[in-house]
């Protein structure tokens, strides 16, 4: 009996691989919730219908080498050589940036591990388009002494205030699925999105502070989203491109595990057993001994054919020449016949290349910048082309960096750091090998407007 390919409730039967593959549509996880959830006296806006969307997205990313590699590339591109403090001046009508040596600034930079903080912010921005920085004030509330990264996966916003339309609370917990409550959730006040510095100064002036800790709202806007943004590359989950890529690899794994598992058929003549039983004096009328001896022989053959250590070794098979008319023919006592499988292992190579291109396009990553893509098609761009692609990609990071630098700008203003202090992301610059044997040029800071 033969079966055609069929699908029933996300189950796909693959007759070539003799396997059933289960694939839950990724688009299901992107559904928005219909209502808020209650946490004691507060209203919390769920992130995804299950209120676990960040964790579900991360699981999808970790299960795909294409998506994971692209995301890692985007994070590192966004980070550049890190964010650093500079003093801005004007010389001959041009802006000049000199590394800041102010002790207060350098102390804040070192005590808060700003490189580590910025890298974590880049990771959440590239993955979720939402970041959750936290500032902590000194006891007398005269300065910000700590700038911290809060994981987007554990962060949720409270419902907007009806009077002001502002998000006023942030909830932080690792128990959203297991049962978050006021005892295992950190609740923080949120500064106004458009004017966080003015909001912070007014709260201190009017003494409207419950705890000297505040959350900032930093995100890359996507149209129609009030609370949690949706990065454009999540379209690979909605469109099915991600699922298609996963099914290809699942098919190939099933093919290797099942479709190619049986490679040999062993034909054994009765005369072979007669020879064995006569030599070892085994009574053919004793079924238990006959069965045991045959199983022993079968086990030897299975071990030999399945053990990778025996690859390339020879196998002895018995045969006898039997007279037939004026000639003689071979009578084989044992014959090993290799099965010919119509599947050669190269199935879906073009599909793999196509889906890799689609995912790369959605994540704005050119395959040449991270290595050859899967499939037959390779990337053979010149060094000049790759350098230009890198520079274009670096320029595209500017709006993300602008958003991520806002908390540092707030700290600079509130702490009365030098007025000409600016925080800037240092970018890599490359030249041609005929100008510099290393191909690397002196690095410069990318201009980032102060919010």
Flag whether 118 is in a domain: yes
Flag whether 307 is in a domain: no
- Let me know: does 404 contact 115? Beta carbons within 8 Å: no
Per cent of the chain over pLDDT 90 is: 48
- End-to-end distance of the chain based on CA atoms, in angstroms? 70
Flag whether 344 is in a domain: no
Q: Are residues 292 and 404 in the same domain?
A: no
Output 334 or 319, whichever has higher pLDDT.
Answer: 334
The pLDDT of residue 123 is above 90: yes
Q: Are residues 365 and 333 in the same domain?
A: no
Flag whether 343 is in a domain: no
Q: Are residues 236 and 333 in the same domain?
A: no
Flag whether 135 is in a domain: yes
Q: Is the dihedral of CA 176, 181, 184, 188 positive or negative?
A: positive
Buried-exposed string 165-180: b where 16+ CB fall within 10 A, e elsewhere? eebebbbbbeebeeeb
Residue 28: the pLDDT is 79
Cα angle: 429, vertex 431, 434; to 5 degrees: 165
The pLDDT of residue 424 is above 90: yes
Flag whether 281 is in a domain: yes
Residue 411: the pLDDT is 97
| CA atoms of 246 and 224, how far apart (whole Å) | 30
Q: Are residues 211 and 288 in the same domain?
A: no
pLDDT averaged over every residue in the chain: 83
Helix (H, G, I), strand (E, B) or coil at 105: helix
Residue 405: the pLDDT is 97
Helix (H, G, I), strand (E, B) or coil at 310: helix
Could you tell me the pLDDT band of residue 386, with boundaries at 50, 70 and 90?
A: confident
Q: Are residues 148 and 21 in the same domain?
A: yes
338, 365, 398 - which closes a domain: 338
Residue 24: the pLDDT is 58
Q: Are residues 333 and 374 in the same domain?
A: no
| For the chain, the helix, strand and coil percentages under 3-state DSSP, each to the nearest 5 | 40, 20, 40
Helices then strands, counting H and E runs in the chain, come out as 12, 20
Q: Are residues 286 and 391 in the same domain?
A: no
Residue 11: the pLDDT is 47
Q: Are residues 216 and 334 in the same domain?
A: no
Q: Are residues 40 and 117 in the same domain?
A: yes
Angle in degrees, 0-180, between the axes of helices 398-414 and 114-128, rounded to the nearest 10: 140
Flag whether 430 is in a domain: yes
Q: Are residues 229 and 274 in the same domain?
A: no
The pairing of beta strand 94-99 with beta strand 83-91: antiparallel
Q: Are residues 91 and 216 in the same domain?
A: yes
Tell me the two tokens of residue 245: 């890529």
Residue 256: the pLDDT is 64
Closest CA to 152 of 168, 179, 174: 174
Long-range contacts of 294-299 (CB under 8 A, 24+ apart): none
Closest CA to 101 of 420, 428, 406, 410: 420
H/E stretch holding 6: strand 6-8
Taking only the tens place, the pLDDT of each residue in 167-220 is: 999 999 999 988 889 999 999 999 999 999 999 999 999 988 888 999 999 999
Flag whether 189 is in a domain: yes
- Let me know: does 141 contact 149? Beta carbons within 8 Å: no
Residue 451: the pLDDT is 39
**How many CB atoms lie under 10 A from the CB of residue 254?**
17
- The parent domain of residue 332 ranges over 264-301+319-338
The pLDDT of residue 412 is above 50: yes
Structurally, the chain folds into a number of domains equal to 2
Could you tell me the pLDDT band of residue 313, with boundaries at 50, 70 and 90?
A: low
Read out DSSP for 25-88? -GGGGGPPPSS-EEETTEEE--SSTTS-HHHHHHHHHHT-HHHHHHHHHHHHHHHTT-EEEEEE
Q: Are residues 106 and 139 in the same domain?
A: yes
Taking only the tens place, the pLDDT of each residue in 20-58 is: 445 556 777 888 888 899 998 999 999 999 899 999 999
């Amino acid at each position: 009996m033969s079966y055609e390919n069929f699908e029933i409730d996300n189950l796909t039967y693959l007759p070539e691989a003799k396997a059933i593959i289960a694939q839950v549509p990724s688009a299901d996880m992107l559904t928005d919730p219909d209502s808020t959830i209650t946490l004691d006296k507060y209203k919390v806006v769920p992130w995804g219908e299950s209120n676990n969307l960040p964790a579900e997205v991360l699981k999808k990313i970790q299960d795909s080498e294409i998506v994971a590699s692209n995301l890692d590339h985007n994070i590192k591109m966004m980070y550049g050589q890190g964010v650093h403090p500079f003093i801005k001046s004007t010389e001959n009508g041009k802006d000049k940036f000199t590394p800041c040596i102010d002790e207060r600034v350098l102390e804040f930079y070192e005590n808060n591990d700003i490189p580590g903080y910025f890298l974590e912010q880049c990771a959440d921005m590239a993955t979720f388009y939402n970041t959750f920085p936290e500032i902590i004030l000194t006891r007398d509330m005269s300065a910000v002494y700590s700038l911290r990264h809060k994981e987007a996966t554990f962060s949720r916003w409270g419902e907007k205030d009806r009077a002001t339309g502002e998000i006023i609370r942030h909830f932080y917990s690792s128990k959203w699925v297991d049962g978050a409550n006021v005892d295992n959730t950190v609740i923080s006040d949120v500064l106004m999105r458009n004017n966080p510095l003015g909001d912070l100064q007014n709260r201190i002036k009017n003494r409207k502070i419950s705890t000297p800790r505040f959350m900032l709202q930093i995100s890359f806007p996507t149209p129609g989203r009030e609370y949690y943004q949706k990065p454009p590359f999540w379209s690979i989950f909605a469109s099915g491109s991600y699922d298609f890529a996963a099914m290809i690899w699942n098919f190939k794994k099933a093919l290797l595990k099942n479709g190619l598992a049986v490679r040999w058929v062993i034909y054994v003549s009765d005369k072979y057993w007669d020879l064995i039983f006569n030599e070892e004096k085994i009574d053919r009328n004793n079924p238990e001994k006959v069965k045991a001896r045959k199983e022993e022989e079968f086990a030897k053959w299975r071990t030999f054919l399945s053990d990778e250590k025996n690859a390339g070794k020879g196998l002895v098979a018995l045969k006898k020449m039997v007279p037939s008319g004026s000639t003689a023919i071979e009578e084989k006592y044992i014959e090993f016949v290799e099965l010919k499988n119509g599947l050669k292992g190269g199935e879906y190579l073009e599909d793999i290349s196509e889906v890799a291109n689609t995912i790369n396009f959605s994540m704005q990553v050119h395959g040449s910048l991270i290595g050859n893509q899967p499939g037959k098609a390779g990337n053979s761009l010149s060094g000049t082309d790759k350098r230009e692609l890198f520079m274009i990609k670096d320029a595209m990071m500017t709006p993300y960096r602008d958003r991520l630098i806002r908390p540092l700008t707030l700290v600079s203003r509130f702490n009365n750091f030098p007025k000409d202090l600016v925080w800037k992301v240092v970018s890599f610059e490359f030249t041609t090998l005929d100008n510099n044997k290393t191909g690397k040029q002196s690095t410069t800071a990318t201009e980032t407007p102060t919010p």
